[in-house]
């Protein structure tokens, strides 16, 4: 199976397993999605979804959040980890959204990535899941699986994103991003597979005798 065939096979198998791809982070606006994604850094979606109802009861828009003391935000989001940094970012980006963007989350990468606490991955999630623009956010699961499936050498996250965008159809990027994450959590975990065990790995690496050592994100 050559690289092009692997891309096609992976895409078809993931579509069979996950025809529906609900967004894992609970939100009811693009602003609350942005905050939830920011909180998810080095934290599970499950934990974020336990914290955000309390936070969004306090403030679910940038105008209200900008008035909240960062220390109050920190106390609520503490279970998500990195709370001093994240609470400061939430407070500051909320003020910027009010002062610069009229209370709206900007619909472009440049302005999103200029916000405190918002990197390329967070911006990509907001652009794809919030605004439905084609993007391919790469998290640890995607970075790991892209290497195990030999879709990318995984030199770094930036290169992995570039390789996946080149190999998959642009119209499928947003869905595939979630499908790969779901598969990585369910079938091809960091310790549960070595590039030869799960269904997709065993197929695309058929006959392989040694495990695939992946680079970390």
Write out 189-213 in H/E/C secondary structure: CCCCCCCCCCHHHHHHCCCCCCCCC
Blockwise average pLDDT, block size 10, the chain, 217 residues = 97 98 97 98 96 98 98 98 98 98 98 98 98 96 97 94 98 98 96 97 97 90
Structure tokens at 181: 């994450």
Residues assigned a catalytic role: 121, 139
What local confidence, expressed as pLDDT, does residue 2 receive? Answer: 96
Geometric angle at alpha carbon 37, from 31 and 42, rounded to 5°: 155
Every domain range in the chain assigned CATH 1.10.1670.10 = 3-20+136-204
pLDDT for 78 equals: 98
Return the structure tokens found at 167: 């190999």
Report the C-alpha gap between 167 and 203 in whole angstroms. Answer: 18
CA distances from 95 to 28, 65, 122 (A): 20, 8, 18
CATH match for 30-130 among 1.10.260.40, 3.30.420.40, 1.10.287.610, 1.10.340.30: 1.10.340.30
- CATH numeric code, 3-20+136-204: 1.10.1670.10
Residue 189 CA: distances (Å) to CA of 25, 29, 38, 145, 197: 20, 31, 23, 9, 11
pLDDT at 7: 98
pLDDT at 154: 87
Confidence (pLDDT) at 217: 77
DSSP 106: P
The predicted pLDDT at position 91 comes to: 98
- Given a contact cutoff of 8 angstroms between Cβ atoms, the answer to whether 79 and 51 are in contact is yes
């Amino acid at each position: 199976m050559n690289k092009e065939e692997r891309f096609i096979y992976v895409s078809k198998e993931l579509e069979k397993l996950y025809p529906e791809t609900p967004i894992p982070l609970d939100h009811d606006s693009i602003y609350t999605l942005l905050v939830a994604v920011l909180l998810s850094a080095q934290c599970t979606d499950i934990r974020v979804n336990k914290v955000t109802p309390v936070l969004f009861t306090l403030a679910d828009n940038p105008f209200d959040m900008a008035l909240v003391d960062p220390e109050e935000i920190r106390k609520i989001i503490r279970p998500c980890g990195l709370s001093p940094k994240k609470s400061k970012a939430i407070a500051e980006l909320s003020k910027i959204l009010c002062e610069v963007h009229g209370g709206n989350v900007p619909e472009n990468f440049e302005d999103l990535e200029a916000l405190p606490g918002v990197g390329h991955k967070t911006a990509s999630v907001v652009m794809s899941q919030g605004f439905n623009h084609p993007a391919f956010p790469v998290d640890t699961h995607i970075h790991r699986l892209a290497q195990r499936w030999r879709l990318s050498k995984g030199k770094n996250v930036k290169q992995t994103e570039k390789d996946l965008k080149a190999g998959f159809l642009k119209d499928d990027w947003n869905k595939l991003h979630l499908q790969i994450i779901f598969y990585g959590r369910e079938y091809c975990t960091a310790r549960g597979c070595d590039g030869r065990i799960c269904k997709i790995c065993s197929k695309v690496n058929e006959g392989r005798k040694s495990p695939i050592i992946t680079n970390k994100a």
